[in-house]
Structure 1
Amino acid sequence: MAATTRRSSGSADRAQAPDLRAQQKQYTRRRLIAAACDVFEAKGYEAATVDDIVAEAGAARATFYLHFTGKADIVAELADRIWADTGANFAAFGELPDWSHATIRGWLDKYVNGASENRQALRIFAEQLPHTLREQHQEHVKDFVAAVMRPPERWAHFSKPEARRRAYLLVTQLETFMPSWMAGRWAREGPAFLHTVATVWRNTLEADRL
């Protein structure tokens, strides 16, 4: 019976070993990304080097290249994370039960609080987003606009071109506002500013309703 127990324990240890290695790999990857964000913010994306990043992370260049081919990979991963989170937020708008001021304001609160998790990345992107990613961002904006325009029957009081224009303006307005919010430029007026944004959204969405 003891031998069986030892074999079972050995099998469990072998099963856990890959999990521990995977966790360590993820930890190292997150540490490199966090270090890169600090370096990008301090020196600017263009001036930052891989050596700067590994020094900040306390890692070796070889370790960096086990995870990334260069600093552009890190920016791309940050972009994917931000776009996925933003897309989910705009999709949630399409699921709101109504367009009352209170409902829109509640959605804005969640949008802003969720974006706080990407605060540093948003600041970096607002100032230093590489040109190639700017072009990709425009494609994501189209998806955000489509998400906001659901369900289509709620937009029926507008013509389709007018609905699309209004949705585009609302999405880009909020996207432009967020970096300033994350930078703390509206800290003193935060609740009042969100109240104003909710009013703007409601007025834009409910205008011309028959």
Structure 2
Amino acid sequence: MTGISTPARNTFREQQWREAHDRYLECAREVFARLGYHAATVADIVAAANGSRATFYAHFRDKADIAAALFERILPDTAALYRMLAHFPELTRDRVRTWLDEHVLAFWTRYAVEIDVLTQAVADDPRVAARHYQWGVDAARELAPYLTQWTGEHEQAGLTRALLLVLQLEQACYHWLIRGVGHDRALVLDVLADVWWRELTFLRTGP
């Protein structure tokens, strides 16, 4: 009997753990959106989740860790965003501009809370900063079809160029769309399209 019932109990416990984990993430997002990252506390998140500090710390190390976990939930969409660019049937400036306009800006608008919270957590916690950098590298690797000529001694240079594109775009969108620095939309899209199209063309050509 024990051998039969244990898997069921384990599955139930895993489901309970996942439900609690997701509840804390959803409540943290609401709290961060309402109070801001720095003003929010673990106590605020626990209260919003109608939970306990013990349960919170069973899932997350601290406030920065739950901020990082919030961002981790959108990583599949991040990968899909760059994968879309990587698999254009033909690389043209107009297609790059459309990708920026219709997909990148929509992504940043949809996930403004997660991105803002993560950016502040990165400034406060070196461990989150290290995770964020690796996420940037992973995003750059989604551009692999443009890096096929960058092999051997040139491999790291190619990946670094792709990473700098990702980080540059991230910073531009953060100040523009999250922090509200005023820019002319058409102008910014034109400049970003020029930069991305030229660099991707160069990457595809190889060193």
Task: Confirm or deny a common fold (TM above 0.5).
Answer: yes
**Equivalents in 2 of 1:185, 1:60: separation in Å?**
35
Matched, 1:120 2:113: yes
In the alignment, structure 1 segments of 5+ residues that lack a partner are 1-17
Alpha-carbon distance change, 67 to 88 in structure 1, aligned in 2, over 3 angstroms: farther
1:195 positional shift: 1.5
Aligned letter for 1:49? T
1:83 positional shift: 3.0
Structure 2 residue aligned with 1:59: 50
**Equivalents in 1 of 2:26, 2:74: separation in Å?**
18
Alpha-carbon distance change, 25 to 188 in structure 1, aligned in 2, over 3 angstroms: same
Q: Out of 53, 61, 76, which is 1:84 matched to?
A: 76
1:96 positional shift: 1.3
Query: Would you say the 8 A contact 2:176–2:183 is kept in 1?
Result: no
Aligned letter for 2:200? L
- CA displacement 1:142-162 (0-9 Å, x = unmatched): 222221131545879xx6455
Structure 2 residue aligned with 1:171: 166
1:25 positional shift: 6.4
TM-score (norm 2): 0.69
**Equivalents in 1 of 2:143, 2:52: separation in Å?**
43
**Equivalents in 1 of 2:164, 2:65: separation in Å?**
31
Structure 2 residue aligned with 1:133: 128
Matched, 1:35 2:15: no
1:92 positional shift: 1.6
Structure 2 residue aligned with 1:4: none
Structure of larger gyration radius: 1
**Equivalents in 2 of 1:124, 1:196: separation in Å?**
27
Structure 2 residue aligned with 1:146: 141
**Equivalents in 1 of 2:28, 2:121: separation in Å?**
16
- CA displacement 1:41-63 (0-9 Å, x = unmatched): 16x1xx643222244x2734379
1:207 positional shift: 4.3
Matched, 1:99 2:91: yes
1:193 positional shift: 0.5
1:39 positional shift: 6.0
| Amino-acid identity (%) | 23
Query: Would you say the 8 A contact 2:25–2:69 is kept in 1?
Result: no
Aligned letter for 1:96? F
**Equivalents in 2 of 1:58, 1:153: separation in Å?**
47
Alpha-carbon distance change, 101 to 186 in structure 1, aligned in 2, over 3 angstroms: farther
Query: Would you say the 8 A contact 1:35–1:54 is kept in 2?
Result: no
Query: Would you say the 8 A contact 2:41–2:63 is kept in 1?
Result: yes
1:105 positional shift: 1.0
The alignment partner of 2:73 has SS state of helix
Alpha-carbon distance change, 101 to 31 in structure 1, aligned in 2, over 3 angstroms: same
Structure 2 residue aligned with 1:182: 177
**Equivalents in 2 of 1:58, 1:167: separation in Å?**
40
RMSD: 3.6
